[in-house]
Amino acid sequence: MTTRLVLMVSGAIEATTAIALILAPELVARLLLGTELSGAGVAVARVAAFGLLSLTIACWPSGTVVDTQAVRALFVYNLLAGFYLGYLRVGAGFITFLLWPACVLHVLLALLLARPARG
């Protein structure tokens, strides 16, 4: 799998997540974490989604050249997201059917981006 393709797959997943968080943050929280959001949680989720969507746009590959900074940004994001989702499942006791798959997907994307992220 080429670095460009990994960036596109990661970007597509994150853009989809961002749009879902903007449109229905309560549903995403319920499916991913099995919990409800307060009014402040909804606002924070939407602002985080704006950042996630911006990251996706900034990292989307243009042409055939892959920007190393974009690869590094998505590598760090996926690594941290994967570890945090794993912590939520193991250390914080959140139990839903989407938490492990989301964790594994982020860690897998981070592993695929690790070598290209070194530059």
Amino acid identity of 98?
L
Band the pLDDT of 1: cuts 50, 70, 90. Answer: confident
Domain segments of the chain as ranges: 3-117
Q: Convert the pLDDT of each residue in 42-57 to its tens digit.
A: 999 999 999 999 999 9
Alpha helices in 1-119 (DSSP H): 3-23, 25-33, 39-59, 68-90, 99-117
d(CA 94, CA 30): 11
pTM beyond 0.85, yes or no: yes
